[in-house]
């Protein structure tokens, strides 16, 4: 089993905890060290408990607190070469540079990164697995490429971006140029795109669907959830909208026997490990 909990998800900051029995990972750290510490305390944890930090890309809402957290608590950071070079603050206690095409492990969690189309230097996301359980995060995804969809096939749980409602974005305060950037193939997924993606991925073993990175100006919880429910059967039993200004509860990502029979395209769990540590 894996467990995941969001410390907050949206344009003002993103951070996600992924844990097994023996390993605790932090995906992105878009909050200040003070705020990250406070939100982790709400889950009964401290940054000292983290085994490693993984980064998806260099935008401030994903990396604001990673440097201070790494230095204060001596935590290693895993990220692509492009993200490392694009960061303003990359003075980490330990740096592990990865390829977005090679899997690796931290503790007892296997991690399969994959490149994502976004307006960043070398954006990527990750599939986390432990035994037969697989959980993926796909926010900051301008479009779902065939490669991304292949990586997501058969996941047991999914955090998917549901950034904007099309009508709200069109009628909202953003200028046309910013609207175009958000809608572009290197921007963000809207509610309808998220629903269409999850519909294609859905299978009997997918138990948890988390909607994240909602825009506070161009979306609402109700709009995102309602759109997903239009696309996915029994979505009301599986869908949770993550909040921007508070942490979530822990979600248990468990293996279901139905996952094996219902997802024949599940990719093999590769065991290649790689890292290049900088002094």
Burial of residue 57 (number of CB atoms within 10 Å: 0-12, 13-18, 19+) = buried
Q: Give 20-68 pLDDT, tens digit per residue.
A: 999 999 999 999 999 999 999 999 999 999 999 999 999 999 999 999 9
Q: Give 103-140 pLDDT, tens digit per residue.
A: 999 999 999 999 999 999 999 999 999 999 999 999 99
Q: Give 81-99 pLDDT, tens digit per residue.
A: 999 999 999 999 999 999 9
Q: Give 173-226 pLDDT, tens digit per residue.
A: 999 999 999 999 999 999 999 999 999 999 999 999 999 999 999 999 999 999
Pick the more confident residue, 267 or 88. Answer: 88
Looking at every residue in the chain, the average pLDDT score rounds to 92
Burial of residue 242 (number of CB atoms within 10 Å: 0-12, 13-18, 19+) = buried
Per-residue pLDDT, 236 = 76
- Of all residues in the chain, the percent with pLDDT exceeding 90 is 89
Query: Distance between CA atoms of 231 and 277, rounded to whole angstroms?
Result: 44
Per-residue pLDDT, 267 = 43
Per-residue pLDDT, 277 = 33
**pTM score, two decimals?**
0.91
- Of all residues in the chain, the percent with pLDDT exceeding 70 is 92
Residue 83 belongs to what H/E stretch? helix 81-86
Range 2-263 classified under CATH 3.60.15.10: yes
If you compute the radius of gyration of the chain from its CA atoms, what whole number of angstroms results? 17
| Domain ranges, ordered by start, for the chain | 2-263
Query: Distance between CA atoms of 96 and 274, rounded to whole angstroms?
Result: 9
Q: Give 225-253 pLDDT, tens digit per residue.
A: 999 999 998 777 899 999 999 999 999 99
């Amino acid at each position: 089993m894996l467990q995941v909990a969001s410390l907050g998800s949206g344009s003002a900051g993103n951070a996600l905890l992924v844990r097994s029995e023996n390993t605790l990972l932090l995906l992105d750290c878009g909050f200040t060290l003070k705020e990250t510490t406070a939100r982790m305390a709400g889950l009964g944890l401290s940054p000292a408990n983290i085994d490693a930090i993984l980064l998806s890309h260099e935008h401030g809402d994903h990396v604001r607190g990673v440097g201070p957290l790494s230095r204060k608590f001596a935590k290693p950071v895993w990220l692509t070469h492009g993200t490392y070079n694009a960061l303003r603050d990359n003075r980490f206690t330990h740096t592990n540079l990865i390829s977005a095409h090679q899997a690796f492990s931290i503790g007892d969690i296997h991690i399969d990164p994959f490149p994502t189309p976004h307006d960043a230097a070398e954006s990527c996301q990750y599939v986390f697995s432990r035994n037969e359980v697989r959980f993926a995060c796909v926010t900051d995804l301008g479009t779902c490429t065939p490669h991304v969809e292949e990586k997501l096939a058969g996941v047991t749980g999914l955090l998917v971006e549901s950034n904007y409602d099309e009508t709200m974005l069109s009628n909202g305060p953003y200028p046309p140029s910013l609207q175009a950037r958000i809608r572009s193939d290197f921007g963000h997924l809207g509610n309808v795109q998220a629903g269409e993606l999850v519909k294609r991925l859905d299978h009997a073993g997918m138990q948890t669907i988390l909607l994240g990175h909602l825009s506070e100006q161009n979306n609402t919880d109700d709009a995102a959830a309602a759109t997903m429910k239009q696309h996915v059967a029994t979505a009301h039993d599986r869908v949770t909208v993550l909040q921007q200004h508070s942490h979530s509860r822990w979600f248990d990502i468990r293996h279901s026997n139905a996952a094996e029979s219902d997802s024949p395209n599940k990719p093999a769990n590769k065991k290649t490990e790689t890292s290049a540590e900088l002094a």
